[in-house]
Structure 1
């Protein structure tokens, strides 16, 4: 198949809250045998009839049948697309795993049965192995209806399993809190080869994940990282940084990196040590101290020529594919400009340049922003002994108590459930459905925690009590705070909040606000976020003509699918990856599978019927 270059403008972002998708209203199913229900559907599946589907049926496909990521809404669209693609791809060896069927109970109004299944395709390359879930509920007439289908690409037929890589050591026996820092130093900085099937730019969690999956599939690759050592993308962050997601969510592919001896919220050193262990255990091909300078695409040869800088030397490498894993959301800072900056006598920096507050003992500290990083910096200032710490809040902020977050994810990420199983539970739902489920669970807990939030508001913090975690992650890529302890310090007045006016200009001793008040400061840290659009971040590396034909990265399209992430973004040979550690780990496998299919000469054909008209 010949790839076509996208010449249309970039896909506009949609809002998740505007997408269709409703949870089924169904009675409690606790007295229903899910195995028997699964057996009922085994005879008719996959030859679904329109009447089998609920009128609000949803189907999300992850490269299994559509060759890309698609979500179809409504009985009509699901039936037509499902019927056409089953006819086209001809699934066989369909096995409904009735013994694994389970009841999903969200609350007293919403419940259904998830029925796992597997299948293979027999027509149109590439031939693939897939899994899925059929979600059924009993309607008001006592009839079982399919309300959701999820289909997931698992492997390419006849190829090694993407999720398996032989390790040199047993990960579970090591404690990364004491892991050494020698993993990167053993990596040779010379190139035995100058051509690879894939170059991965960036050696953090996203790049390491993709590289590991490419290795499992036998694709020749190299990961280029600008930092001197593996793990530095974490190790060189500010000293107080911790993950705001659970330890069991933090693993990279193929095995657990972090054992139960480590804290629930890992430090930067622990994360970095885990990445070094990953590279050492699986012999991942990383070249550190290497920075991409520029690249050019040959349309005739379908090859990238990349100039790589190592100290004072320039290497020229070529590749069929380039994956950008350069840390969208944490590399290019955004920082507001206020008047009279030159008159301020203190220190100004963005959080990207922040390391520690230990040298500022006794000074007056101000943090601009109130999301995760801002809370970390303010807490570090307080613990370091600054004479005062004030957070400047420019808009209301959703505070998600860490215990609420843990309660909603513990069934997916724990020391018993395999990480790959948790990932499928977490990431395979249509985002419109994940959003509604998360809001039901988190809002119920927030309603029970009123005193905690009252105390924050009394301290002057402008609070969103009932947030939307899916929209925060996929529409905004952050802007919230997972409360791992700093909110209590705000409530007690240990950290002050300035939320009643906006900064307008600097003064010699601090900041002036639009209500005429002045806030004294010796050091001001801007925790105001980063440019999250990878297309913008990498345009200088791939050239304007290519960048103009690549879609914007992140934010969702009219089906609720991420734009440009983990799939063909509009130009051949370019791939974008990023997001949280979980996104990098789970979705990196899909990038590797698409690249493997291409180098085999059987690239995925993307099904583009019924695309939303936006």
Structure 2
């Protein structure tokens, strides 16, 4: 019997197979610092105007971010890359290729790999006319004694003559909206001409409606508003930031703080995120202050959300839900039925962006037999707030990633009689010191956020994955005891350092950024059951796949969330749209994120989500695609020459 094809595998197994199949490598060469980088840059950039196969390394990788393909594509191998480049060159007629002076460098990935990396700009004379950028990776070819292009990217920066998605083109308002009241989008320059059908010029009509006022929704709404595009944001919660207000408290960050000028009935404990405030910033302007902690808490995040709304004067309808949406092909517009504060409102829009939460909205709750027998308390981490009421009881945490460690630490600090964490498989662990050493060099008080994103996120996924793994290996070689001690305490560690697979794999996580939980395990304050899965409840706890039994009074399932936004979207759009949309998150056969920030078969509808950097960076390309469509010159999507498994 033959093996099953990728389409018959689970989403998780499909992602693993796709990651491992991507044909990319890091060059095995250590370059000295003695090269004339400016001369190399000038020569390499000129080659792009008349690219020949001999200019390319055999295994070259080219990633385009909406510059020439109108979407997100990655091409592999010199023959395919050269062929596609020539086709798209004739269509878009790129010219004015120029190296960015002073930006060339020797890029080093670990101890064994390096290349000359060159930043450049260019323009396209197609429709629309655009400004673009990119970078080239050069390696020496020892056989021909020439430099080969091993890696390059092309990235859409802006449409010529129209507002950029990276800076406000208006005078920001003094006060924003946080109470759901309606106000018009106001700006002083850069408004796109209103060439929409007549019915879209009514009062309740917008160029774009964004559903969801979390980070992703606000990021795209802010960019669109800055570009002069009328946008409405619809939020189901009574106030923006309630998605954070309702998150669990954390005993790891017991500092008192008051939220000035905002009335919130919150406990003083705050749940910090596992990334720095610079890494978690909004686009275009910094919303975190010098007084905010390096790792923001819930209240810090809420405050930043509301500052962002005020800065951009974003139009938000709170306590509002999209009930259904229908598309009219004759006028290319959506009619939305929105339930707003218990009243039904109909809104028309050309574009509909769904930012409905891919990383924390729909819990993945295992169905374990005999739940009714258990005498204790059972909940998913979505509904977890605090362990303070469980003092003296036995706690059991199912899961081994970030949230599981947060909850287990809370249980210890709350005085539970015992705390046990269960682990199905070895877990990737990234000590916070290692993580910060990498990210703080790019995301800090003085960094250009937009450029930091380009440097971090515009790499082809396969290359970014290998770079991160090399970085991890370097730390392991210098400080192996950091993780060995954790493993000796019973916590199984996965040593690949594959953060990219964790980020884009099914579940968008499954790793542990160690900010202190590891030490609690090493000290024995948190016990670990590794290599097992729960098979059934009993009256007093859980039985596991190895036949063992764990007593518990309370069981918290930290088993993650469903990241695919498509099922949630279908509830709003109806089954007729299913085949016109894509699954959301994970990667496709080229290494690109599925369904995110790009046009699908159905025009005028978009998905946005993911962690802050990816939502922030992706929102700029989504905004540019919407802008081009509203101008009557939509980006031309190139869908041919797809890589096959």
One fold, TM greater than 0.5?
yes
In 2, Cα distance between the equivalents of 1:304 and 1:527?
Answer: 38
2:136 to 125, 134, 137: 134
The residue that corresponds to 1:534 in the other structure is 565
Deviation at 1:168, TM superposition (A): 6.5
Range with bigger deviation, 294-303 or 65-74: 294-303
In 1, Cα distance between the equivalents of 2:118 and 2:474?
Answer: 27
In 2, Cα distance between the equivalents of 1:185 and 1:27?
Answer: 53
Matches within 5 A, 1:128-527: 128-141=130-143, 142-165=145-168, 184-189=177-182, 193-240=203-250, 241-476=271-506, 477-527=508-558
Q: Deviations over 1:21-71 (max 9, x none)?
A: 122233423111211211333443422221111111111100001111111
Deviation at 1:373, TM superposition (A): 0.9
Deviation at 1:548, TM superposition (A): 2.5
Range with bigger deviation, 161-170 or 26-35: 161-170
The residue that corresponds to 2:198 in the other structure is none
**For structure 2, which runs of at least 5 residues remain unmatched after alignment?**
1-9, 185-201, 251-270
User: Compared with structure 1, are the counterparts of its residues 108 and 449 closer, same or farther at alpha carbon in structure 2 (3 Å cutoff)?
Assistant: closer
1:589 to 610, 617, 620: 620
Deviation at 1:103, TM superposition (A): 1.7
Task: Tell whether the 8 Å contact from 1:198 to 1:323 is kept in structure 2 after alignment.
Answer: yes
Q: Deviations over 1:285-306 (max 9, x none)?
A: 1111111111122222322111
Deviation at 1:189, TM superposition (A): 5.0
In 2, Cα distance between the equivalents of 1:337 and 1:199?
Answer: 36
Deviation at 1:346, TM superposition (A): 1.4
What TM-score do you get using the length of structure 2 for normalisation?
0.88
RMSD between superposed Cα atoms in Å: 2.1
In 2, Cα distance between the equivalents of 1:169 and 1:62?
Answer: 29
Task: Tell whether the 8 Å contact from 1:531 to 1:537 is kept in structure 2 after alignment.
Answer: no
User: Compared with structure 1, are the counterparts of its residues 117 and 170 closer, same or farther at alpha carbon in structure 2 (3 Å cutoff)?
Assistant: farther
DSSP 3-state at the match of 1:28: coil
Q: Deviations over 1:418-476 (max 9, x none)?
A: 11110000111101110111111112212333223222222221221333111111123
Task: Tell whether the 8 Å contact from 2:327 to 2:335 is kept in structure 1 after alignment.
Answer: yes
Task: Tell whether the 8 Å contact from 1:39 to 1:98 is kept in structure 2 after alignment.
Answer: no
In 2, Cα distance between the equivalents of 1:407 and 1:16?
Answer: 26
Task: Tell whether the 8 Å contact from 1:446 to 1:466 is kept in structure 2 after alignment.
Answer: no
Range with bigger deviation, 424-433 or 130-139: 130-139
Deviation at 1:186, TM superposition (A): 4.9
Range with bigger deviation, 461-470 or 437-446: 461-470
Deviation at 1:549, TM superposition (A): 2.2
Task: Tell whether the 8 Å contact from 1:242 to 1:267 is kept in structure 2 after alignment.
Answer: yes
**For structure 1, which runs of at least 5 residues remain unmatched after alignment?**
1-9, 172-181
In 1, Cα distance between the equivalents of 2:103 and 2:494?
Answer: 39
Task: Tell whether the 8 Å contact from 1:15 to 1:475 is kept in structure 2 after alignment.
Answer: no
User: Compared with structure 1, are the counterparts of its residues 501 and 608 closer, same or farther at alpha carbon in structure 2 (3 Å cutoff)?
Assistant: closer
Deviation at 1:314, TM superposition (A): 1.4
Task: Tell whether the 8 Å contact from 1:183 to 1:280 is kept in structure 2 after alignment.
Answer: yes
In 1, Cα distance between the equivalents of 2:388 and 2:172?
Answer: 38
In 2, Cα distance between the equivalents of 1:347 and 1:420?
Answer: 46
Count of equivalent residues: 594
Task: Tell whether the 8 Å contact from 1:222 to 1:285 is kept in structure 2 after alignment.
Answer: yes
Q: Deviations over 1:556-591 (max 9, x none)?
A: 111111111110122111101111000111100111
In 2, Cα distance between the equivalents of 1:35 and 1:485?
Answer: 45
Task: Tell whether the 8 Å contact from 1:503 to 1:513 is kept in structure 2 after alignment.
Answer: yes
In 1, Cα distance between the equivalents of 2:102 and 2:426?
Answer: 47
In 2, Cα distance between the equivalents of 1:252 and 1:529?
Answer: 25
In 2, Cα distance between the equivalents of 1:404 and 1:441?
Answer: 9
